């Protein structure tokens, strides 16, 4: 099952992809956002509705993609979670995951422009895999983590590098408007098993910049779910972004930053291709 968030007739909505098009779950539930639906209806009900109804509209009828979960109450991002990226940043592995927060307002959807802000020319790509919580909980054991997930999606944790490095706190550089791309789909856990290894690749103007698999994560997805849920209760619709591989633009010689006119793609095996043009704000 693949869920999408979109605009149609100038209204925010979400639904599920079926062979004939899109089942408009938002309209049926009288809700605008997938996060709210995960919290109030639950992922099982969403699956059942999608499986028992035909398409309400064709995919070509939507006006545009929104962040697949546009209204998460919390977005946790794991930093330095691939060895190659740790090495290129001249850092050392840590005993615990490095976690920072991204704000929902900074996100955009598939095919929407990522913006180079007026304050910087150092917008960098970070191809990642995001997991979305389907069932909330506190102190979730690693062995139970998969049971708490709704699904998986591509993510581009666009980073304004000079602002990220102003101090030891990364949050400013990780939260400029229209820098966090999320989508195009949320692929639910009926299609992705807890032990499945997924390949990830980031391309800038068609050139491969990053390649890795989830087997290369320092802290696995179950470890991240368990760690984050140790200090705060996870809620349905919450997002955990699992970290970027080596090959970021800031650490290349010479550095490669995204500029207006570029196109960046994050492709994850079985999750699709997240594609965004780059524009100046």
Mean pLDDT value across residues 12-20: 96
Q: What is the structure's pLDDT at 148?
A: 98
**89 and 190 inside one domain:** yes
Backbone phi, psi, residue 77, to 5°? -120, 135
**7 and 50 inside one domain:** yes
Residues in the chain: 281
Does the pTM of the predicted model rise above 0.75?
yes
Any domain includes 70: no
Give tens-digit pLDDT for 135-188: 999 999 999 999 999 999 999 999 999 999 999 999 999 999 999 999 999 999
**157 and 181 inside one domain:** yes
Any domain includes 51: yes
Report the 10 Å Cβ neighbour count for 259. 12
Domain extent at residue 9: 2-65
Q: CA-CA distances (angstroms) from residue 100 to 7, 13, 74?
A: 29, 28, 11
Q: What is the structure's pLDDT at 120?
A: 98
- Residues in contact with 28: Cβ distance below 8 Å, sequence separation at least 6, in sequence order: 49, 53
**261 and 136 inside one domain:** yes
Give tens-digit pLDDT for 133-142: 999 999 999 9
**53 and 92 inside one domain:** no
Number of folded domains in the chain? Answer: 2
Q: What is the structure's pLDDT at 141?
A: 98
Q: How confident is the model at residue 115 (pLDDT cuts 50, 70, 90)?
A: very high
Q: What is the 3-state secondary structure (H, E, C) of 69-85?
A: CCCCCCEEEEECCEHHH
Count of CA atoms in the C-beta half-sphere (13 A) of 25: 30
Output the average pLDDT for the chain: 97
Q: What is the structure's pLDDT at 17?
A: 97
Q: First CA to last CA across the chain, in angstroms? A: 35
Q: What angle do CA 142, 145, 150 make, to 5 degrees?
A: 165
Mean pLDDT value across residues 86-98: 94
């Amino acid at each position: 099952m693949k869920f999408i968030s979109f605009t149609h007739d100038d209204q925010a909505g979400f639904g599920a992809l079926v062979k004939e098009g899109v089942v408009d779950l938002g309209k049926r539930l009288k809700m605008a956002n997938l996060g709210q639906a995960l919290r109030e209806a639950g992922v099982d009900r969403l699956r059942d509705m999608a499986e028992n109804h035909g398409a309400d509209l064709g995919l070509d009828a939507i006006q545009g993609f929104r962040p697949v979960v546009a209204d998460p109450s919390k977005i946790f991002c794991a930093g330095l979670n691939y060895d190659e990226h740790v090495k290129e940043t001249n850092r050392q592995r840590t005993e615990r995951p490095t976690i920072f927060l991204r704000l929902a307002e900074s996100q955009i959807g598939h095919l929407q422009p990522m913006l180079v802000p007026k304050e910087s020319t150092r917008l960098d790509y970070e191809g990642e895999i995001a997991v979305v919580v389907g069932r909330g909980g506190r102190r979730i054991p690693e062995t139970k983590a998969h049971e708490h997930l709704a699904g998986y999606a591509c993510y581009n944790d666009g980073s304004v590098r000079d602002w990220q490095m102003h101090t030891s706190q990364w949050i400013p550089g990780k939260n400029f408007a229209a820098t966090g791309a999320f989508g195009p789909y949320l692929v639910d856990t009926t299609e992705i098993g807890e032990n499945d290894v997924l390949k990830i690749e980031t391309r800038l103007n068609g050139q491969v910049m990053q390649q890795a698999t989830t087997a290369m994560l320092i802290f696995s997805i179950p470890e991240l779910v368990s760690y984050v849920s140790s200090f705060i209760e996870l809620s349905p619709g919450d997002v955990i972004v699992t970290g970027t591989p080596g090959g970021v633009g800031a650490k290349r010689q010479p550095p490669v930053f995204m500029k207006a006119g570029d196109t960046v793609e994050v492709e994850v095996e079985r999750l699709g291709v997240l594609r965004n043009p780059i524009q100046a704000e």
